[in-house]
Amino acid sequence: MSTSSGTPESWISSFCSLLGHEYFAEVSEEFIEDDFNLTGLQNQVAMYKEALEMILDVEPEDDEDDEEEEEEDEEDVSGDARDGMGGRERRHHSRVASDLSVIESSAEMLYGLIHQRFICSRAGIQQMSEKYELGHFGVCPRTNCNQTRTLPVGLSDIPGEDTVKLFCPSCLDVYVPPNSRFQTVDGAFFGRTFGALFLLTFPDYDLSRSGAETAANLGRSADEHGMVNGMYARNIAPGLGRGKIYEPKIYGFRVSEVARSGPRMQWLREKPDDVSLLDEARNFAEEHGADSDDDDESMMNSGRPTARRRPAVNPALRQRQGQNGSPMRVDANGAESEL
Amino acid sequence: MDDYGTESDSDYTSYWRDWFISSRGNEYFCEIDEEYLTDRFNLTGLNTEVQYYQYALDLVTDVFDLDCDDEMRETIEKSARHLYGLVHARYIVTTRGLAKMLEKYKKADFGKCPRVMCNSHPLLPMGLSDIPNLKPVKLHCARCEDTYNPKSSRHASIDGAYFGTSFHNILFQVYPALIPAKSAERYVPRVYGFKVHAAAALVRWQNGVRDDMRRRLRKMEVESGFKDGDDDLDEDDDDPEDEEELLQQLAVAEYRGGGAAAVAAITAAATTGGEVQMGSVA
């Protein structure tokens, strides 16, 4: 049992304080108690009910004495206590030690899957942002990212496929956590969505974190609060682009691209000097005349001006498009007011 | 240094260099040959760089027999390590030095690339400057051609000039067969299965840069080194991506506006593995 310390601590907080579980947020009990948030998890986790009870530190359901429940809750936070005192429950549910370890691992799986959903909810992502600010998730190992703080992500939403990875918002790449203790943490417990959603939710973070360099970048990339493709221009991969790409040199001479050992991967760290080049929709509109509103929209739909239209969708888009050329702007403002 | 004092007295490790490369934190260094160290030509110019140059050299070549106090000894010891590092930078670009470092590379003594898509490719140590005391050592991955900070702080304090800016590039000039296959595989940020517009637009642009390069190389009939054929040069699969992105923007909008219902519907769909279809939200 993870709660063998014997301190009156909830299962959740003891789980989160385990070695290697530093990336986890503490899922609020309200979130777990809302059955709606658990939709579909019954089929994914063995001994679902028992596991859920363990996570919530609830006694297995007892028909007779409801009044005692609170008191038992306190006793039951420790596994030792359960072993010592919980003879009654044992009788009711005929639980044996091997059962307990199965339930324990089920509970961890269930908690992980709930966690994947929780950190994408408003309360959860807020909690993760606090952890982010405290630097709980480590920094990017890439030299040119200048210790940008990373975010834990999974490469799959299905448990058991891959371990947790770290997503660097500065180079938009994923890295293996430096400490091997994280290699036992399932990536699905964080999920594929969290990393990107975090950046969309908190667009105001200064990702580059080093003021001087940001100032140097501002000169060539729009104005300070310029938005491109729904993000602040300064926050689009600040660790990439000219001056942030490694150039192989031998005795001071650059290695030619034509050489067999020449650079082939620089595109991965490339970024246009002027990020507004990436605003494909606006560029297309400018190229094809300002009045071609329709073309603009079909560009958004499929990248080809000849694509079919989506009447049900376009009015909303057009409206946002009209405001500032960025369909994400509305969302960004919403998040700002949250902050 | 205490270690040195005791160990140098014993018969087993009487060689300073043995002790040096086997001590903790010096795992990146290889052993420099006696002949290389004793050839004065190889040390040209180092006498101005290193304090107590002659004593330091004597210490490195195990002929040090000056009777001095501990403080002096420590200073000389420090100089010796500095000297060893500077000679090391020269040595590892020689034929024998390259071979020794290659062995260490094959054993992944320098660590493995932290980038997920590089699949733990072995790293090589490198400096960002050839001038000592400027930048600490970095690690270079030949697969993604980028540089990374060493994981451990005891390595992060080693001077980068002890490896130099050229070594890892020379290694692949000399052993071109060892150049790893390049891969276009990469991470794409997604929200509920949909690409994020800003990142996806950058990815598209980068792919354009890559394809331009590959066309350029093909025109010059130079092997590009990409393992995944030339077929993806004519990208026509971009269109579904754009559509996906649009849906993503809507999904996020929906999520913000519609609240928990949309989230759960999308999450449920996303957890089951498949790409999210708008039908599950609408």
**Mean pLDDT throughout B259-273?**
43
Domain around B51: 1-91
Q: Which chain B residues are Cβ-neighbours of A326 within 8 angstroms?
A: none
pLDDT above 60 for A3: no
* Of A157, A232, A160, the residue nearest A195 (C-alpha): A157
Cβ–Cβ below 8 Å for A144 and B146: yes
pLDDT above 90 for B9: no
Give the pLDDT confidence score for residue A60 in this predicted structure: 66
Residue B27 lies in a domain: yes
Cβ–Cβ below 8 Å for A199 and B189: yes
**Mean pLDDT throughout A197-218?**
67
**Mean pLDDT throughout A285-292?**
71
Confidence grade of residue B264 (pLDDT, cut at 50, 70, 90): very low
pLDDT above 90 for B268: no
Q: Among A31, A44, A116, A142, pick the best mutation site for testing chain B contact (most B Cβ within 10 A).
A: A142
Give the pLDDT confidence score for residue A308 in this predicted structure: 41
- Which residues 8-67 of chain A have a CB within 8 Å of chain B? 36-37, 39-40, 44
Q: Answer yes or no: do B215 and B276 share one domain.
A: yes
Cβ–Cβ below 8 Å for B189 and A280: no
Q: Answer yes or no: do B111 and B174 share one domain.
A: yes
What does the domain layout of chain A look like in residue ranges?
A: 11-118, 129-275, 279-339
- pLDDT, one tens digit per residue, over B217-229 is 999 988 888 876 5
- Which of B166, B268, B270 shows the shortest C-beta gap to A251? B166
The CA-atom distances, in angstroms, between B276 and each of A285, B194, B237, B252 are: 29, 8, 19, 12
Does residue A171 sit in helix, strand or coil?
coil
Dihedrals phi, psi of A201, to nearest 5 degrees: -80, -35
* Of B179, B98, B138, the residue nearest A259 (C-alpha): B179
**CB atoms inside a 10 Å sphere around CB B51:** 12
If you measure CA to CA, which chain B residue comes closest to A328? B249
- Of the three residues B91, B119, B144, the one that is the final residue of a domain is B91
Confidence grade of residue A224 (pLDDT, cut at 50, 70, 90): low
Give the pLDDT confidence score for residue B103 in this predicted structure: 95
**What ipTM does the predicted assembly reach?**
0.77
pLDDT above 90 for A310: no
- Of the three residues B91, B109, B137, the one that is the final residue of a domain is B91
Q: Which chain B residues are Cβ-neighbours of A264 within 8 angstroms?
A: 145, 182, 213, 224-226
Q: What is the CA radius of gyration of chain B?
A: 27
Give the pLDDT confidence score for residue B235 in this predicted structure: 42
If you measure CA to CA, which chain A residue comes closest to B267? A117
The CATH T-level fold of domain A129-275 is N-terminal domain of TfIIb (2.20.25)
The CATH T-level fold of domain A11-118 is protein kinase ck2 holoenzyme, chain C, domain 1 (1.10.1820)
Q: Answer yes or no: do B216 and B132 share one domain.
A: no
Q: Which chain A residues are Cβ-neighbours of B192 within 8 angstroms?
A: 193
Residue B3 lies in a domain: yes
Please tell me the number of Cα atoms within 13 Å of B127 on its side-chain side: 28
Least-confidence region, from B4-13, B147-156, B171-180, B216-225 = B4-13
Q: Which chain A residues are Cβ-neighbours of B217 within 8 angstroms?
A: 257-258
* Of B116, B119, B140, the residue nearest B128 (C-alpha): B140
pLDDT above 50 for B267: no
A192: contact with B, CB 8 A cutoff: yes
pLDDT above 50 for B141: yes
Mean pLDDT score of chain A: 76
Q: How far is CA A94 from the centre of its chain?
A: 40
pLDDT above 90 for A301: no
If you measure CA to CA, which chain A residue comes closest to B195? A196
| Token pair for A198 | 């975090």
Q: Among B129, B146, B281, pick the best mutation site for testing chain A contact (most A Cβ within 10 A).
A: B146
Q: Answer yes or no: do B101 and B85 share one domain.
A: no
The secondary element (H helix, E strand) that includes residue A213 is helix A211-218
As for how many domains chain B has, the answer is 3
Give the pLDDT confidence score for residue A7 in this predicted structure: 56
- pLDDT, one tens digit per residue, over B199-214 is 999 999 999 999 999 9
Q: Which chain B residues are Cβ-neighbours of A270 within 8 angstroms?
A: 205-206, 209
Q: Answer yes or no: do B6 and B87 share one domain.
A: yes
Confidence grade of residue A314 (pLDDT, cut at 50, 70, 90): very low
pLDDT above 60 for A307: no
Q: Say which CATH number the domain at B75 has.
A: 1.10.1820.10
The strand pairing partners of B138, in sequence order, are B126
If you measure CA to CA, which chain A residue comes closest to B174? A261
pLDDT above 90 for B233: no
Confidence grade of residue A96 (pLDDT, cut at 50, 70, 90): low
Residue B185 lies in a domain: no
Higher-pLDDT residue of A175, A77: A175
- Of the three residues B31, B63, B91, the one that is the final residue of a domain is B91
Please give the share of chain A, as a percent, with pLDDT higher than 90.
48
- Which of B148, B196, B267 shows the shortest C-beta gap to A142? B148
Q: Answer yes or no: do B247 and B274 share one domain.
A: yes
In angstroms, the CA A23 to CA A28 distance is 16
If you measure CA to CA, which chain B residue comes closest to A147? B149
Give the pLDDT confidence score for residue A87 in this predicted structure: 40
How many angstroms away from the CA of B199 is the closest CA of chain A?
7
- pLDDT, one tens digit per residue, over B153-176 is 899 999 999 999 999 999 999 999
- pLDDT, one tens digit per residue, over B25-75 is 999 999 999 899 999 999 999 999 999 999 999 999 888 888 888 899 999
